[in-house]
Structure 1
Amino acid sequence: MRTEHPTIPGLGGVSPKAVWDAFHPPRLTQARQLAGMTKKEVAEGIGVSPAAVGQYETGSSKPRPDILPRLADVLGVPMEFFLAGRPIGKLDTSMAYFRSLRSTSGAQRNRALAFAGQVWELAYSLERRVQLPLVDLPGFTGGEVHPGTELSSDPRQAAQELRSHWNLGRGPVRHLVRQLETHGIVVSLPPEADEAAAKIDAFATCGLPRPLMVLTRNRADDVYRHRFSTAHELGHLVLHSSSTGDSQQEREADAFAAEFLTPRASILPFLPQRMDLGQLANLSRTWGVSVKSLIYRCREVGIASDATASRAYQRLNALTGQPGFSPEPVDRFPGEQPIMLRRAFELAEQDQGLTIRELSRELAWRPERVQEILGIRETRPVLRLVD
């Protein structure tokens, strides 16, 4: 998917009057949501009323040129961020599959959606220079898939069909996140420095020109939970045309994830007829799923009763932290970490001389923000001056 977007003359150093002339209200909303601030907090920071900030966001009035530098400073963005003329990733709650609408506040959801929009904007800019993998997600109307490709509405059947469509075979799915990226799905993690965003649960959206998934750092201490969460969000992408946030959609996404990661026909011959946690721990490492999920799978396929599964969960809890039963962090598994955007930047850097500063000027972001979303760490030593 190659697209062009208009260049913005003079981006990086324009005057407040020029920004006032081309002020884009949705950019203010995006910046405020990314900062996790209320209109009242922004108003206090720039010396106006909350009603005035609301008017700026609706476009019924514009902040005076002398206010714009303060506004940019309060929100932590370059003043050029408010300029019109750049593609903007706009999402609302109905376009993203949050694990539970009741478990996240409106502010948290808005911040997450604004972050997802930024990830898409970064992908869009990189795609002007580098051909990203074609979108191959059945049912996604913006993808480059065969028009006749459709998946069943039954979660388990859909999981089997997608495995077949992606030629994953019958065994364990290796490098799940890498598989998603290979098939054109943009995957991202909130920056470590963004503590509030890092606490948001994983979610996905088909509401942008590329399917996009934001994983969560609060599951990064356990690669198996991370993989199941990823497969759960993939289930939303292929099963649900819009998000209702109800328990039925969540159960369907869970059923999809279980079948996608451990297909019944493939895992059944390996499941112990008697609950053997040691054998389940070995299966866990082979199939990339947790022992807890395998216990549930045993109950689900009829090998174990509810009472047997309950006792197994209790025994498993007692083993937590023991060798073979300790969580393993995601950072030990490169195939479960997103790399597509960073690799695209590195290719553009090598082939076309693209720099972080050039990309940040084009996006009207701070360079550090570009590095954060790309997952590029600052390698220079930090000078510390002491008395």
Structure 2
Amino acid sequence: MNPQMLTLLRESRGYSGAQLAKLAGIPQPTLSKVENGLAVIDEARLQQLAEALDYPVEAFNWTDPIYGFGSVAFYHRKQQALPQTTLRKIQAQVNLTRMRLDKLLRSIEIDTQYVVPCLEVEQYGTPAAVARAVRALWRMPMGPIRDMAAALELAGIIVVRSNLESTRIAAISLDNVGIYPALMILNTGLPSDRERFTLAHELGHLVMHSALVDTDEAEREADAFAAEFLMPAAEIRTELKGITLARAAQLKVVWRVAISALIRRAYDLGVIENTRYKSLMVSMSQKGWRKSEPIEVTRDHPTVVSSLIKVHLTDHNYTFDELAQVVALNRDEFAARFDMEFFHPDQPRSPHLRALNKERHNNQPSVPSSAEWGRGCYGEVVRP
């Protein structure tokens, strides 16, 4: 058993050492020594821990590296307002998500059409200029981005949705985490327009922030990047002239961004004055639109993870239960975490996934070194 995995699995359930010891019927001093590698646990007690945590015994033997976010690399200003137990739970769940994806990718390659560049704001002048450079590099057509998640997946970025335990956090991104360029984890429950802006915001972090920067400045730069990436100034400026709430609602359908984002874009581009901007935002508050906007735009649908499941079930002939065992989850949690309720075996496979062969692959996945881990972790805060 890997003592570090015991700690990670415990934290992923939000338990303290004392709570787990009580649930598993194991003396707390014994559990503490086991987690610190000072004692060996017998099979009977390991089974008790597995049942208390609701994980298969196999999960305790994983040897994948476990990474911390770091207080300076984890980009969300309000993390200190979250309890340490919550932060540890988030960190554990993110690590487990990465580990599961690594195992699902053992025998599958992701063909990428784009690369995720590392561009310094100082070199390009502004975050908006960086956004234009990325759109050009990715040969994106003019106009609204049809599917933000699909664009990221073409660059090898894996996008998943998961409960991040706090409405303060919209997403967490990890770059250089393995054989794929980055992992973006969206918090569940976000409006579809908010998801798209969040994905663009996270892309901004990945592209621009290879070096340590001030947290607040990094957030402003990522917001500016996202605004230009989703709403290029040269294309949207004329459409924002004389903007009203009704007009913003019409543009929301076209550009697939929030009404509030369109109004803010009009202000940032100098199309409306500060007084008009404030007036429109007050009107939104009076209508209750700051909490829940009208018109739900079509939600982007990441396809890589569902396609991974499809490849294993069809090409590699895994059963549902066998695949759940591979990622060390019980059947119900596997179905919930991988959205199996919406999975259909006949759905099209992501075109940029390729099975290496149709045989079972039991080799351990390639494990990134700490150097390969790269630039770190970025989180995006939902602002009140």
Q: 1:36 to 1:251 in 2, by over 3 A?
A: same
| Equivalence map 1:1-387=2 (5 Å) | 23-48=1-26, 50-84=28-62, 86-88=63-65, 90-93=67-70, 96-98=74-76, 100-134=78-112, 136-139=114-117, 150=119, 152-153=121-122, 154-190=126-162, 196=165, 200-206=169-175, 208-209=177-178, 210=180, 211-219=182-190, 222-241=191-210, 246-272=215-241, 274-320=242-288, 326-328=294-296, 332-333=298-299, 336-377=300-341
Secondary structure class of the residue paired with 2:184: strand
Deviation of 1:152 after TM superposition, in Å, equals 4.2
Matched residue type, 1:351:
D
Conserved? CA contact 2:174–2:184, under 8 Å: yes
CA distance in 2, matches of 1:69, 1:198: 34
CA distance in 1, matches of 2:309, 2:131: 32
CA distance in 1, matches of 2:101, 2:272: 46
Matched residue type, 1:205:
L
Q: 1:26 to 1:244 in 2, by over 3 A?
A: farther
Q: 1:87 to 1:101 in 2, by over 3 A?
A: same
CA distance in 1, matches of 2:214, 2:306: 32
Aligned residues: 336
1:8 maps to which residue? none
Q: 1:197 to 1:352 in 2, by over 3 A?
A: farther
Q: 1:293 to 1:97 in 2, by over 3 A?
A: same
Task: Answer 1 or 2: which has greater strand percent.
Answer: 2
Q: 1:348 to 1:71 in 2, by over 3 A?
A: closer
Conserved? CA contact 1:35–1:75, under 8 Å: yes
Q: 1:181 to 1:103 in 2, by over 3 A?
A: farther
CA RMSD of aligned residues (A): 2.9
Secondary structure class of the residue paired with 1:93: coil
Matched residue type, 2:267:
R
CA distance in 2, matches of 1:362, 1:54: 28
Point out the more displaced range, 313-322 or 368-377: 313-322
Q: 1:52 to 1:237 in 2, by over 3 A?
A: farther
Which ranges in structure 2 are unaligned for 5 or more consecutive residues?
344-384
Secondary structure class of the residue paired with 1:131: strand
CA distance in 2, matches of 1:259, 1:139: 17
Q: 1:308 to 1:170 in 2, by over 3 A?
A: same
CA distance in 2, matches of 1:160, 1:278: 29
Structure with more relative contact order (C-alpha pairs < 8 Å, separation 6 or more): 2
TM-score normalised per structure 1: 0.78
Deviations 1:251-302 (A, max 9, x none): 1111111111111111112112x33222222112111111111111111111
Matched residue type, 2:137:
H
Deviations 1:208-232 (A, max 9, x none): 113111101131xx21112111211
Conserved? CA contact 2:25–2:48, under 8 Å: no
CA distance in 2, matches of 1:242, 1:29: 30
Point out the more displaced range, 281-290 or 96-105: 96-105
Deviation of 1:90 after TM superposition, in Å, equals 3.3
CA distance in 1, matches of 2:70, 2:100: 21
Matched residue type, 2:49:
L
Conserved? CA contact 1:99–1:245, under 8 Å: no
TM-score normalised per structure 2: 0.78
Deviation of 1:62 after TM superposition, in Å, equals 3.0
Point out the more displaced range, 175-184 or 195-204: 195-204
Matched residue type, 1:165:
L
Conserved? CA contact 2:77–2:216, under 8 Å: no
Point out the more displaced range, 235-244 or 282-291: 235-244
